[in-house]
Structure formats: structure tokens, C-alpha cells
Structure 1
């Protein structure tokens, strides 16, 4: 039976979620105007343009901004389910539904024995910190599938694998959820799902994998960690440009390719660390799968050439799953990610013009947001290593008995 305290906590959870999400809907439906550039234009212009092409049975082969795996077509086409609404309105409603699905999953997980509701609170608080951008991108839909996969992981590895494979075909990054999966059935199920979807799209829709070639000429996105080099360099006469390129605002010009390669090198180092961790880790607890996924996505988000605001939705979702487990030690990194979310909405969309101009306010916001992400990444990685490698090694050292000490002395 639920206690009065639990019922009150659930009521507060639902109430805060409803109020904050109502505010997000009012912004995306433009009842009220959110400061900064219009974040909904991606839906009404880009997504709807892709929708018109996809509904003809082919991928947008002539549009280099299409940089997503083939199952992303499901997300772009999904507003047709609400055929009585115009495309943007239907998309916003479906994004809202995905948000609600995550809340229900986390609430269900939080009501199980030994699992607190703090994970659900992370989601309730974290999403509105990012502003209306959350409902104007399909990342919240991908995050919903990823959250379901992680929550299923401990007891239902095949279900986790299938959901992870599907999510990876929506937007690649969820493949990192498998980093700590110990059951072969999870990997096999993921591979089978990816293979089946790849074959389906390759046979039925031309251009399913054209997105793989659309990344080669990208610059360094102005919000990324590497972009800080050019924000500072502009103060000393760097003569590059800030242009809309491949769907995002990027730096183009001298040495951009060097910084982009450095970002790829950092991502490779992150992958190497994760591989080393996987080989060395010996202690796996129920929360390890979520913690390792959080660390992996943190690493690749922070080192990426692009850190778009919607990427933070992934981190909020994974952070929420971590704190669904009482044993997780990711509380401090999660707090840093939530702080980074608040700074993110300030740099985009509120003061994005200052970021593009590389003025004092814009550069300060980026140093703060990216600094929080770097710190969260380092702390989360250290916490994961200590919990699964270092402490395990200490636990396996046999205790030395007094008799052993005595016999080791010279006679």
C-alpha cells in the first residue's frame, strides 16, 4: 500500500510536470514568444520539407542537412498519425507525448522496491531548463526509447537490445547503451534489430544510407568545446567565418580542420577509455548499466564537433535513469548536467546572437556550459572507475592474519 507521503510526492511530481510542460506548449504554439530566435522553425521548415520527400518513398538525397540513420524517417513521418492537425502542431503534440512516456517510465521504476523517485524528478526539472527546443526536435522521442531500453536492461536483456537497436537507427548515439551490457542476448537482439531495419530501408527506400557521406565537409559548430578556440582567436584577428553549414552554425576557415580532427581524436580517446574500462571492470551492480551509459554519452557529447542544445535531452534522460537506482553515485555529475542545461538555454536561444558574435557574454556562457560538461564527464568517469574497478581490486586483496605476519618474521 502507498503511504500518504508517497502519494503526496507523486502528486507534486505530476503537478510540477504538468505546469512546466504547459509552459513549453504555450511557447512552441507561440501563445507566448520565447526570447531569442524561433526554435520551432526546424519543424515547420526543415522537418516538414523532409516529410514531403519521405512520403514519396525516398530519402532527401539532395539535402545535405539530412544526417540521420534511416529509422529517423519514422519520427519525421509520425505527425501524419495526427492527420487532423497541421504538421508542426502534430509534431509538438507527439514530442509532448514522448515526454509524458518518459515520466511514466521513470515513475513506474521509482515505485519499485529499492528505487527512489529522484530519477523522475531529474526529468521533470531538467527538460524545462532547456526551454521549448525540447519539443521542437525529435531527440525527445529517441530519448524515450533509450530510457525504456535502460530500464528494461537488468531483467529483459533481449528487450533492451531490440529497443537499443531501434533507437540507434533513429539517431546512432543509443548504441552506447550497450557498453556495459553483459548478456550476449542483448547484443544479439540489437544486432538483429539493426540488421532487419537496415535491410528493410535499403530494399524499400532509395538513399537510406546517404547520410554517411554528408558529414565529411562539416566545420566546427559554434557551441562545441573545440569552438572555444575560435571564439578566443576572433578576439586576436582570426579571419574565419561563422556560417550556416550542414544544418548548424559553424566556424569555417583557417585551422578549423585541425580543431575538428582534434575533436575526433578526443572521441577516439574516450572510446579507448571505455574499452579499457569494460575490460577491467569486475563489479557490476544493477545501476552499473545506466551509470556506464551516462558516462559514455557524456564523453561523446562533450568531445563532439557539434553540441547542439537538443543533445542535452539525451543526458537528462540517462541521468534520470541513473538516479532511479539508490546505489548510483552519479548525483554530483547529474547536478552538473542540470546546471549545464540552464546555461544552455541562455546561450541558445536566449543570447545566441552573442554566441555567434563571440562577444564577452557569448564566450562566457560557452566556457561555463562546456566547462560544466567537462567537469561532469571527468567526475562521472572517475566515479564509474572507482565503483567497478578500483574498489573491486581492493575487495579481492586477501586480508593478512596475525599468524601470517608471525610466520613471515625471521626466526
Structure 2
């Protein structure tokens, strides 16, 4: 990589440019990527401030209760500026994560990971900033980057992110398997969760604070979930009996047809079983002496992809979850991770093609759009298999030293640490 591309000025300039483009795409209104922010989040914020309801306290909430923090924070300058405040908040959090990644003098690996993240955001498009997931991604990135040298703060950030949107719990679970500091991680996660739940209980929530669990289990089969492809293709090929409809309660597009009820019933226990299988492969590698730095990134990515691909729920913003594990992998071992990172870039581009620009064609099950979505979903499964294979090899060979970290001597590897 040319030295000029490692300079903070170049990296921060690109950061500003990419986020300027993404903000512009969101504000353009093409495909209405800000639909959830303008129609849902703003309504929640105004209803909470007015006292009409208390989400997660006396009213069921689809997200964990800390999701209210950014939703309310974006109202600080008033409802007319809510969208701009939201986009500014996400950009600010991304900036914090970007700074944690590159530091004052970014090494080659950190700079490459930073350029990859910017490319990933640009290829993913406006949805990269326009959902609650966008709040959790920078928290997760900083959390996994800190977990080695600042384990307490890393685990704390990952726990907070989990109480905004559930997916970062994958990092906590991966740490329990891969890290020798697992009990410290569990203690931080449990202690922080007790504080959050306790505060909600004092506010009178009762079990409503956990309503996000039942809200998810009550969902139908969303059209972007890989398992829905079977029915989307039936519709695309003109086979009668399949219908794409809008669920007014969950506010998502779902598919219904012969066998979808069975699929909805099966997917949650299947997800649990596949997660357990992934953890067993990771545990096997850990027991064989695999270095933490080699095991944790593929285990985390495999778990994140499992949550995406073996699920009845599917949304374009789920692709944002890939950033944290891939950035961690690229920082630790660029050569081993550049190919999976390239696949993730392709997945991001295919996602933007579907949403927001041609989403109506997907709703109409136009074969070309169903094909694009199917290829994206297939790549998810390919990456899962790739990471499982990598972990299996780690468990089938003598323990190897961790890869050289940026800034360490290339002639003498840095001692392994956690």
C-alpha cells in the first residue's frame, strides 16, 4: 500500500467523503431508505417524550430497551431535524470507531482494514446509516478491537451494543469459547445486564423489558431470509399459492405459501442447533491450542453469518454486522482475510442493488431481482462454510503462533496475548 494511503489526512478525508455520499443518498429519497427513521423511530421518540407510552416498560418493544437511547437522542434538535440528527449521530459513532481502528499513526494492516470498511459502507449504500443496526456496528468494532488490551471495556461495549440490537451477543458467545478470560467476559456481560434490567424493573417494566424476545419469535417468514428463497422462486416462476404481503404489526414484508408455517416453526430450533454446531467446531479448535487471535475472528464471523442465514428474519441492514469480524480479521492477518473480505464487498453491492433501488421488483418477485437476492444469500452460506473449514483446520493441526500485529517486528513475532 502506498504510504500516502496510510496518512491520517487521506483516511479521514475518505471517511468524510464516503459519509457525505451516504448522507446524500439517504436524503435523496430514492427508494426511501430512511423510512424506518422517519416513520417509525421518530414516532417512537415523540410518543415516549410526550408520555403516550414507554416502550419496553409498559409497551412491548421489538428491540432491547437501550435502543431507545439513540432513538431519543436524535430528537434533541426537534422533530424537523430528526433525520439529520440521526445521520449525524451514526456518522459521529462511525468516526469514533474509525479513530479507534487507525489511531494516530495507522499501520499497514489497520489502514487496509479502514479502506475496506469505507468501501464496504459505500457498496452497501444508504442502509448503512439508516437503521438501528448502524448504532451497534461502531460499538461492536471498538469492542472487538479493545477486547485484547482492554478486556473490561471491550466486553462492556459489546454488552451495551447487545442491549441496543441483539446480534453483538455473538461476540460475547465467541469470547466465551475462544478466550481464556471467558469468566471475566461473562461477569461483565451479566453484571451490566443486571444493571440494565434492574433499572427497567424499577421503572415498572416487569417482564416487558424482555418483550423483544417474544416480538422476534412471533415473526413470520421475511422475504430476504435465505429460507424464503424457495417460495420467492415459486412466485417468480408463476407457480400459484405463494403471496408476498406486508405485516402491519411487525412492519416487514413476508411471504406465505404451502409449507411456510412449518418453516417458521422449524427455523428457530434449527438456528439454535447450527449455532451449537459452530460453537463445537470453535471449542474443538480452542481445545487443540488454537491461538485466540486466529480463532476468535472466524468464530465470530461464522456466528454472525449463522444469525443472518439460518433465520426466518432477513433485512438488508443485517449486512452491516459483517464489518466488525472482518475488520478484526484484516487487522490481524490481511493475507488470510482479504478473500473473505472481497466476498463481503460483493455481498454489500448486491444488497444495495436490491435495496433500496429495485426493492419493488423484489416485492413483485421479478426473476432478475430474486436471482440477485439468491446469489447474495448463497454467498452468506459460502462464507459460513469457509469459516467453519478454517476453524476445523485450526483444530486439526499443532498450535501456531498468532499472526504478527501491525507495528510488530516482522522478523520476530509478537508474543501471544489475550
| Equivalent residue, structure 2, for 1:182 | 180
In structure 2, the CA distance between the partners of 1:205 and 1:126, relative to structure 1 (3 Å rule), is: farther
| Equivalent residue, structure 2, for 1:350 | 357
How many residues are treated as equivalent by the alignment?
Answer: 386
| Equivalent residue, structure 2, for 1:123 | 117
How far is the alpha carbon of 1:60 from its aligned partner?
6.5
SS of structure 1 residue aligned to 2:332: coil
Contact 2:347 2:376 in 1 (8 A): yes
| Equivalent residue, structure 2, for 1:231 | 232
Alignment of 1:199-214 (within 5 A): 199-204=198-203, 206=205, 207-214=208-215
| Residues 274-324 of structure 1: per-residue CA shift (max 9 Å, x gap) | 231243122123353233212210121111212211111111232122211
Contact 2:231 2:255 in 1 (8 A): yes
Cα distance in 2 for partners of 1:370, 1:323 equals: 23
Cα distance in 1 for partners of 2:9, 2:387 equals: 31
| Residues 23-60 of structure 1: per-residue CA shift (max 9 Å, x gap) | 11112233xx43xx211121111001111233337117
Contact 1:222 1:250 in 2 (8 A): yes
In structure 2, the CA distance between the partners of 1:212 and 1:109, relative to structure 1 (3 Å rule), is: farther
How far is the alpha carbon of 1:343 from its aligned partner?
0.3
1:39 aligned to which of 33, 43, 65: 33
Contact 2:271 2:306 in 1 (8 A): yes
| Equivalent residue, structure 1, for 2:386 | 379
Structure 2: stretches of 5+ with no match in the other structure: 402-418
Cα distance in 1 for partners of 2:201, 2:2 equals: 54
| Residues 227-250 of structure 1: per-residue CA shift (max 9 Å, x gap) | 111012222534232112212111
| Equivalent residue, structure 1, for 2:281 | 277
Alignment of 1:197-346 (within 5 A): 197-204=196-203, 206=205, 207-234=208-235, 235-245=237-247, 246-281=250-285, 282-326=289-333, 329-346=336-353
Contact 2:226 2:310 in 1 (8 A): yes
How far is the alpha carbon of 1:389 from its aligned partner?
0.7
Contact 1:69 1:171 in 2 (8 A): yes
| Residues 252-284 of structure 1: per-residue CA shift (max 9 Å, x gap) | 343112222343344223212223124312212
| Residues 185-238 of structure 1: per-residue CA shift (max 9 Å, x gap) | 122111111111111122215332222222343211111101111012222534
Q: TM-score, normalised by structure 2?
A: 0.85
Contact 1:109 1:324 in 2 (8 A): no
1:89 aligned to which of 78, 84, 101: 84
| Equivalent residue, structure 1, for 2:192 | 193
| Residues 351-388 of structure 1: per-residue CA shift (max 9 Å, x gap) | 111211112112111111111111111112211332x3
Cα distance in 2 for partners of 1:43, 1:24 equals: 15
Computing the radius of gyration from Cα coordinates, the structure with the larger value is 1
| Equivalent residue, structure 1, for 2:413 | none
Alignment of 1:103-182 (within 5 A): 103-108=98-103, 111=106, 115-178=109-172, 179=174, 180-182=178-180
Contact 2:8 2:106 in 1 (8 A): no
Contact 1:224 1:307 in 2 (8 A): yes
Contact 2:58 2:204 in 1 (8 A): no
Structure 1: stretches of 5+ with no match in the other structure: 396-411
